[in-house]
C-alpha cells in the first residue's frame, strides 16, 4: 500500500468508528487496524531520507539519441 | 541597333532614376522576418523576408537603432534604393522596430484558440496532483536557480519526497523538443508527479513553453504534470495544458512538499479521535448497561418486596401457629407430668400403699407368694418384715 492509500484507509477507519451504528466489537477491530496503519505511516515519514538525484547521466543517453536523429 | 546600345553605367543610372522617382518606394514601412543579420562596423546588412519573398536590407550607422535577432519579425522604415555600382537593389533602413511581441502574441493567441478548441486545455482531462508524492521528477535547467528554489522549498517541509532533477535546456529553439523527449522518458519511470520548471523571462525566452509539440506531449503524459514556468504574470500554453499550474517554481515546491510534522500531527489526531470514539462507545454501552441493571433491579426489587411480605405473612402466621402448638404441647406435657407424678410409686406410698418384695424382687401378684415365705413391706415411712401364713387365690 502506498502512503497515500494507508492514510486514506486510516481516515476511512476514523469515519467508520465515528458512526454510532458501528458495534463495539467492530470498533475495537477497526481501532487495532487504525493503529497499525498510523504506525506504518509514521514509520514511512520518519524513515525517509529525501534523496535528490540528478538525472543528467540518464538524459545524456537521450542527447545521444537526439544527435543521431539530427544526423539522419 | 547600335543606337540602342547603352553602357552599364548609363543603364544603372537610368534604373536608379526610376526607383528614385517612384514615391511609392520612399519613406515606407515594411514588415518581415530578419535573416542573415550581419554587422560591419556600424553598418548592418540583412534580408527581410516573409513566407514567399525577400529583400536585401542595409542600414548605415546602427547607432541608436534597434538591433534585431535572426528570425525576429520587425517593421523597418526607409526607402528602396538601387545601388548602381553593383547593380543591386536594396532597402535602405533608417529605423527598425521589433514587431516581435505583437506578432508573436497574435500567433500565440491563434495557437491557443486552436488548441483550446481541440480540447487540450479541458479541465476534464486534468489529473489530480497527489497530496503526498513520494517520487518527483523536475525537468529544468540545472544551471539555473530554479533547481535550488524547488529543492530548498521542498526540503524545508519534509524529507519524505525523493526529487529527481532532469537537466533540460529551457530556452532556445531546441528547448521544446528536448523537454518533450525528457518528459516522455520521465513519464515511463513511474513518478508521482513531473514538474516542468523555469524561471522568469521575456516572452521570446518563454516561447519553448508555448510549443505545440510540448502541449501535446504534456497532454499525452500519464503522469500528472505541474507547469511552473516564469513568474506569476507569465502565462504559457504549457501552464494551460498542465494538470496544475504553479505561479513560480517555488510555489511548485510548496505544492508538492507537504509538511511532514503537520501530517504526523494529523495522523496522531486521527488515532486520538478513533480512541475517543471507542471510549465514547464504551461509556455509552456502560451507561446503557447500568440503566438496564437499574430497570432490572427495580423490577426485581418489587418482586423481592412482595415475596418478603409474603414470607413475613407466612412466617408470622407460622409463628402464631407454632406458639399455639407449643402452648398446647406445654399443657399436654404438664398434664402428663401431673399424671406421671400421680403414678410415681413414692407418691403412691405417700398415699398409704405398700410395696412387697420377696426374695425374687417386687411382688405384684398374690400367686407369686407362698405360705411361710418371708417378705418385706416398704412404705412411705419405712420397712417391715413379715411371714406369709396362708395364700388364697380365690379373690
In percent, the amount of chain B with pLDDT more than 90 equals: 30
Q: Which long-range contacts (CB under 8 A, 24 or more apart) does B100-107 make?
A: B100/B72, B100/B73, B100/B74, B100/B204, B101/B203, B101/B204, B103/B73, B104/B73, B104/B203, B104/B204, B104/B207, B105/B203
Instruction: Give yes or no for residue B103 having a pLDDT over 70.
Output: no
- Tell if the CB–CB gap between B158 and A27 is shorter than 8 Å: no
- Tell if the CB–CB gap between B167 and A49 is shorter than 8 Å: no
In percent, the amount of chain B with pLDDT more than 70 equals: 98
The answer to whether the complex's ipTM is over 0.85 is: no
In the CATH scheme, what is the homologous superfamily, with its name and number, of domain B2-98? Nucleic acid-binding proteins (2.40.50.140)
Cell numbers describing residue B182 = 525528457
Per-residue model confidence (pLDDT) at position A72: 29
Cβ neighbours of residue B38 closer than 8 Å, sequence gap 6 or more: B44, B45, B46
DSSP, collapsed to helix, strand or coil, labels residue B162 as: strand
C-beta atoms surrounding B124 within 10 Å: 5
- Tell if the CB–CB gap between B278 and A28 is shorter than 8 Å: yes
How would residue B219 be classed by pLDDT, with cut points 50, 70 and 90? very high
- Tell if the CB–CB gap between B274 and A3 is shorter than 8 Å: no
Contact A55/B at CB under 8 A: yes
Minimum Cα–Cα distance from A55: chain B residue: B166
How would residue A5 be classed by pLDDT, with cut points 50, 70 and 90? confident
- Tell if the CB–CB gap between B185 and A4 is shorter than 8 Å: no
How would residue B127 be classed by pLDDT, with cut points 50, 70 and 90? very high
Instruction: Give yes or no for residue A58 having a pLDDT over 60.
Output: no
Per-residue model confidence (pLDDT) at position A56: 54
Instruction: Give yes or no for residue A62 having a pLDDT over 50.
Output: no
Q: Decide if B203 contacts B241 (C-beta within 8 A).
A: no
Contact A70/B at CB under 8 A: no
Chain B residues touching A47 at Cβ < 8 A: none
Report the residue from A10, A45, A54 with minimal CB separation from B142.
A54
Per-residue model confidence (pLDDT) at position B191: 92
What average pLDDT does the segment B291-299 reach? 81
Chain B residues touching A33 at Cβ < 8 A: none
User: Smallest CA–CA separation between A1 and chain B, in Å?
Assistant: 13
Q: For the whole model, what pTM was predicted?
A: 0.54
C-beta atoms surrounding B59 within 10 Å: 23
Per-residue model confidence (pLDDT) at position A60: 46
Contact A29/B at CB under 8 A: no
- CATH 3.40.50.2300 is right for the domain spanning B122-258: yes
How would residue B395 be classed by pLDDT, with cut points 50, 70 and 90? low
Instruction: Give yes or no for residue A68 having a pLDDT over 50.
Output: no
Per-residue model confidence (pLDDT) at position B375: 92
Per-residue model confidence (pLDDT) at position B391: 87
pLDDT digits (tens, 9 = 90+) for B328-357: 878 888 888 787 777 777 777 887 888 899
Cα–Cα distance for residue pair B136/B248, rounded to 1 Å = 17
Q: Is the pLDDT higher at A69 or at A61?
A: A61
What average pLDDT does the segment B48-54 reach? 87
The domain segmentation of chain B, as residue ranges, is 2-98, 122-258, 265-331, 347-387
Amino acid at each position: 500500500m502506498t502512503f497515500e492509500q494507508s492514510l486514506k484507509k486510516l481516515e476511512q477507519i476514523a469515519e467508520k468508528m465515528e458512526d454510532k451504528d458501528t458495534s463495539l466489537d467492530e470498533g475495537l477491530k477497526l481501532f487495532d487496524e487504525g493503529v497499525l496503519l498510523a504506525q506504518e505511516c509514521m514509520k514511512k515519514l520518519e524513515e525517509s531520507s529525501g534523496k535528490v538525484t540528478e538525472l543528467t547521466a540518464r538524459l545524456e543517453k537521450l542527447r545521444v539519441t537526439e544527435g543521431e536523429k539530427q544526423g539522419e | 541597333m547600335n543606337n540602342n546600345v547603352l553602357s552599364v553605367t548609363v543603364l544603372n543610372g537610368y534604373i536608379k532614376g526610376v526607383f528614385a522617382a517612384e514615391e511609392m518606394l520612399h519613406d515606407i514601412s515594411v514588415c518581415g522576418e530578419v535573416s542573415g543579420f550581419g554587422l560591419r562596423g556600424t553598418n548592418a546588412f540583412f534580408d527581410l523576408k516573409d513566407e514567399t519573398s525577400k529583400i536585401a536590407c542595409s542600414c548605415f550607422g546602427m547607432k541608436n537603432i534597434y538591433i534585431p535577432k535572426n528570425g525576429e519579425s520587425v517593421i523597418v522604415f526607409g526607402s528602396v534604393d538601387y545601388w548602381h555600382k553593383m547593380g543591386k537593389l536594396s532597402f535602405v533602413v533608417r529605423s527598425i522596430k521589433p514587431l516581435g511581441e505583437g506578432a508573436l502574441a497574435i500567433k500565440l493567441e491563434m495557437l491557443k484558440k486552436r488548441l483550446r478548441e481541440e480540447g487540450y486545455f479541458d479541465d476534464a482531462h486534468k489529473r489530480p496532483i497527489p497530496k503526498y508524492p513520494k517520487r518527483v521528477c523536475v525537468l529544468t535547467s540545472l544551471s539555473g536557480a530554479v533547481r535550488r528554489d524547488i529543492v530548498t522549498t521542498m526540503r524545508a517541509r519534509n524529507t519524505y519526497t525523493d526529487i529527481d532533477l532532469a537537466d533540460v535546456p529551457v530556452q532556445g529553439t531546441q528547448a521544446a523538443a528536448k523537454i518533450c523527449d525528457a518528459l516522455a522518458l520521465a513519464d515511463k519511470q513511474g513518478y508521482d508527479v513531473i514538474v516542468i520548471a523555469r524561471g522568469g523571462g521575456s516572452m521570446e525566452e518563454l516561447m519553448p513553453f508555448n510549443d505545440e509539440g510540448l502541449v501535446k506531449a504534456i497532454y499525452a503524459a500519464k503522469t500528472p504534470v505541474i507547469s511552473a514556468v516564469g513568474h506569476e504574470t507569465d502565462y504559457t500554453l504549457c501552464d494551460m495544458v498542465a494538470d496544475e499550474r504553479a505561479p513560480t517554481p517555488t510555489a511548485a515546491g510548496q505544492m508538492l512538499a507537504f509538511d511532514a510534522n503537520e501530517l504526523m500531527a494529523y495522523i496522531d489526531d486521527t488515532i486520538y479521535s478513533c480512541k475517543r470514539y471507542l471510549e465514547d462507545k464504551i461509556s455509552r454501552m456502560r451507561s446503557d448497561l447500568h440503566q438496564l441493571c437499574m430497570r432490572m433491579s427495580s423490577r426485581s426489587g418489587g418482586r423481592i418486596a412482595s415475596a418478603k411480605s409474603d414470607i413475613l405473612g407466612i412466617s408470622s402466621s407460622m409463628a402464631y401457629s407454632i406458639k399455639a402448638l407449643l402452648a398446647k404441647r406445654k399443657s399436654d406435657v404438664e398434664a402428663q407430668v401431673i399424671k406421671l407424678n400421680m403414678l410415681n410409686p413414692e407418691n403412691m406410698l405417700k398415699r398409704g400403699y405398700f410395696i412387697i418384695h420377696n426374695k425374687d424382687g417386687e411382688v405384684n401378684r398374690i400367686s407369686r407368694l407362698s405360705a411361710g415365705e418371708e417378705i418385706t413391706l416398704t412404705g412411705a415411712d419405712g420397712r417391715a418384715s413379715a411371714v406369709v401364713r396362708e395364700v388364697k387365690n380365690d379373690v
